[in-house]
Amino acid sequence: MEKSSAIAQRGRRISLSLEHIILNIAIWFGLYLIVSLSLNIEYGFGGIPNFGRALAVLMGAVAVGALVNRALMALFGINGDIIVASGEVKRVMNDLILQNPLIGVGFLLVVLTVAALAGAVTGALLILPSARLSEDYLAITLLAISEVFFMISYYHPDIIGGYYGTSVPDIFAWAPSEWRIVLFALLVIVTAAAIYILLDRILTSPYGRLLKAMREDETVVRVCGRDVMWIRVRTVALGSAVAAIAGALYSLYTLNVIATSFGRVEWTFYPFLMILLGGVGNKRGVLLGTFLFVLIKILLTTYKYELRDLFRLSFETVWLEYIIFGILMLLILLYRPEGMIKEEPILTEPMKVCVKRRR
């Protein structure tokens, strides 16, 4: 008894260490930034209420757990059900990556590509009902589709192992275990930064202004001879591809894929909270909103035992997290609907020159 409590004490001290907190914030900031950026294209710029964001993230994880794992099973000639066989695949792959780290890099690139493709296809199919539905119906339908797919992948053991989940190879199998989290933080941050820059380039192009025009008034866009449906399909496919990358990275980080990690609250509601907190349709707002959200979330999870002792809570702190973030969202909607940073017009190159001259 004493020994186990001593171990628990030590475990708590490790998890409370500053480096660990910072690394955790970095990883979650990167992951959530990717998702909130993806939602910002669709909702912030395009005005599409994608209440099924979690589905694209889940698809990224399914791409790793179901598609890539099965391809590797075929490659190595491993048979059996996905739950056991993925463990075997993980063992073989980890050995290979240990011998040659480049295989890990190749594996990462393959995984991200497959995830992005799976996300894009899912997104393009998901948005098709919008051709006939008004905004309300669309939001409800997307949420229902996302929720049902979540349930299927949780109950059905043949997709990603149901409630057992599937294993995922470790792309940093060659690194010592204490370096793994550092390498991952770097990987996630670099990926998020690349996506940030790429999306910024895409959204400052005429396409970004087209999206904002669609958000404000679809009829005007139609009058100008643009096909609104085609814009929507492209936008949601792009957004979902980006969100799927976050799902894939998360699976690579946790080394397994299990449907329960991809719920509606974590990957649909929280991203909406982040972009509404920071400011809809503006990149700096998304950056700030995501950072503040992750900071609160990580501090809450890190100090959950202290919080429980301090307030003598007799329940799990996850409920407290839900209450806090739900109320935060309501406060934003009621008192600061424009978010922390207000939306600015898109500065194109000629406009930047004009602004400079004015100054």
Partner 1 sequence: MITVIEGAVVYSNLLALLAIGLTLTYITTGVANFAQGSFAVFGSYVTLSLLRLFDVHPYYALPIAFTAGGLLGVGAYILILRPLIKRGAASVILMIATLALDLVLLGIIGAYAGFLGNISGKGATKFIFTPFDSEILGISGIFLISILVIILLIAVLLFLLYRTNFGIALRASMENPSLAVIMGVNLEYTRLFSWFLSGSLATLAGSLLPFRQEIVPSTGAIIIVSIFAASIVGGLSNIYGALIGGYVIGLSESLVTYELSTILGSGVLLYGKVISLVILCLVLILAPQGLAGVRWRRVLRLHKGGGG
x/- string (CB under 8 A) for partner 1, residues 316-355? Answer: x-xxxxxxxxxx-xx--xx--x------------------
Helix spans in the chain (H): 2-16, 18-39, 53-62, 69-76, 82-99, 101-126, 135-155, 157-160, 177-204, 206-216, 218-223, 228-254, 264, 270-278, 283-302, 304-311, 317-335, 349-358
Nearest distance from C-beta of residue 49 to partner 1, angstroms: 4
Which residue, 312 or 357, is less far from partner 1 as judged by CB? 312
Distances (CA, A) of 176 to 91, 101, 170, 181, 183: 17, 13, 12, 10, 10
The nearer residue to partner 1, 8 or 148, going by C-beta atoms, is 148
97 burial type by CB count under 10 A (0-12 exposed, 13-18 middle, 19+ buried):
buried
- Residue of 285, 313, 291 whose CA lies nearest to 40: 285
Interface pick for partner 1 out of 6, 75, 105, 144 (rule CB under 8 A)? 144
**264 contributes a contact to partner 1 by CB under 8 A:** yes
Q: Which of residues 298-317 bind partner 1 (CB under 8 A)?
A: 313-316
Residues in the interface with partner 1 (CB under 8 A) total: 45
CB 241, CB 120: distance < 8 Å: yes
Vertex 46, ends 43 and 49: CA angle to 5°? 35
Please say which residue, 84 or 324, places its beta carbon nearer to partner 1.
324
**Binding residue (CB under 8 A) for partner 1 from 14, 22, 75, 140:** 140
Stretch that binds partner 1, among 43-51, 98-106, 203-211, 246-254 (CB under 8 A): 43-51
Rule CB under 8 A: say whether 148 interacts with partner 1: yes
Give the nearer residue to partner 1 in terms of CB position, either 19 or 81.
81
- Closest approach, Cβ 315 to partner 1, in A, equals 3
